[in-house]
Amino acid sequence: MVFDALMIARYLLKRKIFYPDRYIGIGTLSNDLGLSPGRVVRGLRLLRRLGLVVRNTDPRRKKYSTWSLSRNFDDDLLARLVDYGFGDYVATDKISIYEWIDSFLDRYFLSGTVALLINGLSWSDVMPMGILIIAEKSEIARIKKFYRFYRKTSLGRRYRLDIVYRQNIDDCDYSNIRLENASVPVASVPQALVDSILNSDSWGVDILETLSVLIGIMVPRILENSDIEYVQRMISLAERQYGKKYELLLAVFKHIFMRYYIYFEDISALRIYLSVPKGDKEYRLSSKIIHKINEAFRATILGDRVAMYLGLEPDFSSQRSVYIPKEIFAVSEL
């Protein structure tokens, strides 16, 4: 109803349909906005209760009633309200999109790469193309309505939303983080890493950035403190929330820690690798994920081309040559 009311208000404002000079009928509104007459009436009623619109004609002849914007508020205030509702306000930087989303949703939290950014973790300062929202199943109807409206707003074209439903979001690890205008529910770092890795195709996840944060920031911290518990916590979050799919996370961890061992012969990495539980079957990572892990290693702890030149990292992007370098045939002294 709120979304319909906002659409109606914007329509009336754009066409400057102010009392008493101009008015419009329900049929026209219904046609132009593509809403059923019933929804138009409910939206108008809400606006009327807020004192934003007035009904012009004989209440006994409802069918022919017309409506106008009230003169109670100035155009500017109304325009700001509509701008806020449609998310145009976000463009002015007075409010963030997360705070705006928070106006419409209840049992949800932000996750994915955005959650890492809000938690202050970023490697390349990359913002994904969208937002990953984890919401409770009971919110489906509300979120569907919100999403139908969201697609029509200017934000809908800029940020794509991906929503993952959970039976009970209290099973997840999130907390409210104070932003400038509102505190919004945001996944903790382990939860955000789990959600990002297990929803790597989501618009709200930049998997390279997520893996860069994991490999470049979190893994060195974990190894420095031999913090096996941190890894176990992520695994248990994933197992509780994602069921069988959590084996993907196990495979990612195993791959990252074994690689760390291969590069640095770090026994802590080997110990954590050994502590990662075995899945039911041997899970093979897709080549896409493996390449992203390669890139993340390169982008973070292995450095860039300098390290590659020094031979500290393999060059995965180089084109394959068609021959074996001749020097390779030279023997090393036994």
Partner 1 sequence: MRTIITIDLSEESERVVELKTTLRHVSIPDKEFIEKVFSILNLKTIKPFMPIRDLSLYDTMIYIATRHMILSGGYGINACFFSPDERRLSLADIDFVSISPDIDEIIAEINDQIIKNNGAAIFSLGKHKTSIGLISLNTKKMQWLRRIGAENVYSYRRTILLPPIGHYALRGEMFLDYLKRHGFSEEKEWQSFVLRAKKIGIDRFRVETIEIDITVMDANYVIREAKPAFEIAGGEKYITKKRSVMVIEPKDAVNALKGALFYFFNKKQTHNTVKTLIDLRLAKIMGEEKKLSNVAKKIASKKEFLKEYESGKESWRFAILRIKYTKLSLLIDKWF
Would you count residue 321 as binding partner 1 (CB under 8 A)?
Answer: yes
Instruction: Tell me how far, at minimum, the Cβ of 270 lies from partner 1, in Å.
Output: 6
Which listed residue (14, 28, 277, 288) binds partner 1 by CB under 8 A? 277
Stretch (H or E) spanning 55: strand 53-55
Our finding on whether 230 is near partner 1 (CB under 8 A) is no
Q: Any contact of residue 267 with partner 1 (CB under 8 A)?
A: yes
Q: Is 294 in the site for partner 1 (CB under 8 A)?
A: yes
Q: How far is the CB of 122 from partner 1 (least distance, A)?
A: 25
Contact between 280 and partner 1 per CB under 8 A? no
Q: Using CB under 8 A, which of 262, 288, 304, 306 touches partner 1? A: 262
Task: Select the span of 68-76, 134-142, 236-244, 259-267 touching partner 1 (CB under 8 A).
Answer: 259-267
HSE of 39, CA atoms in CB hemisphere, 13 A: 17
Task: Please pick, from the candidates 62, 140, 176, 309, the single residue that binds partner 1 as defined by CB under 8 A.
Answer: 309
Closer CB to partner 1, 105 or 276, in the complex: 276
Helices within the chain (DSSP H only)? 2-14, 26-33, 37-49, 75-85, 97-102, 112-118, 140-150, 154-158, 189-198, 207-213, 219-224, 228-242, 246-264, 267-275, 287-299, 305-310
Which of the stretches 45-53, 68-76, 123-131, 312-320 binds partner 1 when contact is defined by CB under 8 A?
Answer: 312-320
Q: Contact at 8 Å (CB) between 193 and 241?
A: no
Does 323 bind partner 1 (CB under 8 A)? Our answer is yes
326 binds partner 1 per the rule CB under 8 A: yes
334 binds partner 1 (CB under 8 A): yes
User: Does 316 engage in binding with partner 1 (CB under 8 A)?
Assistant: yes
Choosing from 278, 288, 304, 306, the residue that interacts with partner 1 (CB under 8 A) is: 278
Q: b vs e for 171-208, b when ≥16 Cβ sit within 10 Å of the residue's Cβ?
A: ebbbeebeeeebebbbbbbbbbbbbbbbbbebbbbbbb
* Comparison of 92 and 318: residue with beta carbon closer to partner 1: 318
Contact yes or no for 5/82 (Cβ under 8 A): no
Whole-angstrom CA distances from 118 to 12, 33, 178, 291 are 37, 36, 10, 26
Q: Is 259 near partner 1 (CB under 8 A)?
A: yes
Q: Which member of 97, 179, 217, 270 binds partner 1 (CB under 8 A)?
A: 270
CA distance 257 to 276: 10
Candidates 11, 104, 261, 283; binder of partner 1 (CB under 8 A) is: 261
Residue 52, Cβ density class (10 Å: 0-12 exposed, 13-18 middle, ≥19 buried): buried
- The set of long-range contacts for 314-319, using a CB threshold of 8 Å and a minimum separation of 24, is 316/291
The answer to whether the beta carbons of residues 216 and 267 sit under 8 Å apart is no
306 near partner 1, judged by CB under 8 A: no
Give residues in contact with partner 1 (CB under 8 A).
254-255, 258-259, 261-263, 265, 267, 270-271, 273-278, 285, 287, 290-291, 294, 308-312, 314-316, 318, 320-332, 334
